[in-house]
Structure 1
Amino acid sequence: MLTREQIVRAAVEVLDAEGVNGLNMRRLGAHLGSAASAMYHHVESKDKLVVLAADHVFGEIPLPEPGRDGWRRAAASLARGTHAMVVRHFWLIPAMSTHLIYGPNKARFDDRSLAVYESAGFTEGEADQVAATVLMFVIGAAQGQAAEAAWRARLRRNGIDADKELREATAEIFAIAQTFPRLRARIDSAAASAEDPFEFGLHTLLAGLESRLTPEDHHPHGHDKTP
Structure 2
Amino acid sequence: MGGQAVSRYSQIVTELRRRIETGELAPGDRVPSTREITRHWGVAMATATKALSELRREGVVRAVPGVGTVVAAPGRPVRAARPAAAARPAGASEASSAPTALTLERIVGAAVAVADTEGLAAVSMRRLAAELGVATMSLYRHVADKDDLLMRMMDSVMAQSPLPADPPDHWREAIELAARQLWDLFRRHPWLAPALSVTRPQMLPSALPYSEWMLTTLHAHGFDLHSAFTAHLTLLNYARGIAFNVETEREAEAASGLDSEEWMDTQEPVLLAILDTGRFPALSCLAEAGYDLDLDALFEFGLQRLLDGLASAQGRP
Q: Does the alignment reach a TM-score above 0.5?
A: yes
In structure 2, the partner of 1:94 is 194
TM-score (norm 2): 0.59
2:120·2:191 contact (CA, 8 Å) conserved in 1? yes
Shift of residue 201, structure 1, vs aligned partner = 1.0
Distance 1:150 1:115, change over 3 A: farther
1:19·1:90 contact (CA, 8 Å) conserved in 2? yes
1:10·1:28 contact (CA, 8 Å) conserved in 2? yes
Distance 1:66 1:115, change over 3 A: farther
Paired residue type of 2:151: V
Once the two structures are superposed, what CA deviation does each residue of 1:66-123 show, in whole Å capped at 9, x if it has no partner? 7533110010111111111112211123322597522210122222221221222211
Using CA pairs under 8 Å that are at least 6 residues apart, name the structure with larger relative contact order, 1 or 2.
1
1:67·1:119 contact (CA, 8 Å) conserved in 2? no
Shift of residue 193, structure 1, vs aligned partner = 8.9
Greater CA radius of gyration, 1 or 2?
2
Does 1:50 find its partner at 2:150? Answer: yes
Q: In structure 2, what is the Cα distance between the partners aligned to 1:214 and 1:169?
A: 45
1:196-211 to 2 correspondences below 5 Å: 196-211=297-312
TM-score (norm 1): 0.80
Q: In structure 2, what is the Cα distance between the partners aligned to 1:161 and 1:129?
A: 39
Secondary structure of 1:102 counterpart: coil
Does 1:124 find its partner at 2:225? Answer: yes
Aligned partner (choices 126, 129, 135) of residue 26 of structure 1: 126
How high is the sequence identity, in percent, across the aligned residues? 32
Q: In structure 1, what is the Cα distance between the partners aligned to 2:166 and 2:312?
A: 18
Provide the aligned C-alpha RMSD in A: 2.7
Aligned partner (choices 133, 136, 142) of residue 234 of structure 2: 133
Once the two structures are superposed, what CA deviation does each residue of 1:30-52 show, in whole Å capped at 9, x if it has no partner? 12222211211100101110111
Does 1:162 find its partner at 2:257? Answer: yes
User: What 5-or-longer segments of structure 1 have no aligned partner?
Assistant: 216-222
Shift of residue 183, structure 1, vs aligned partner = 3.9
User: What 5-or-longer segments of structure 2 have no aligned partner?
Assistant: 1-100
1:177·1:183 contact (CA, 8 Å) conserved in 2? no
Secondary structure of 1:196 counterpart: helix
Greater share of residues in helix? 1
Paired residue type of 1:137: Y
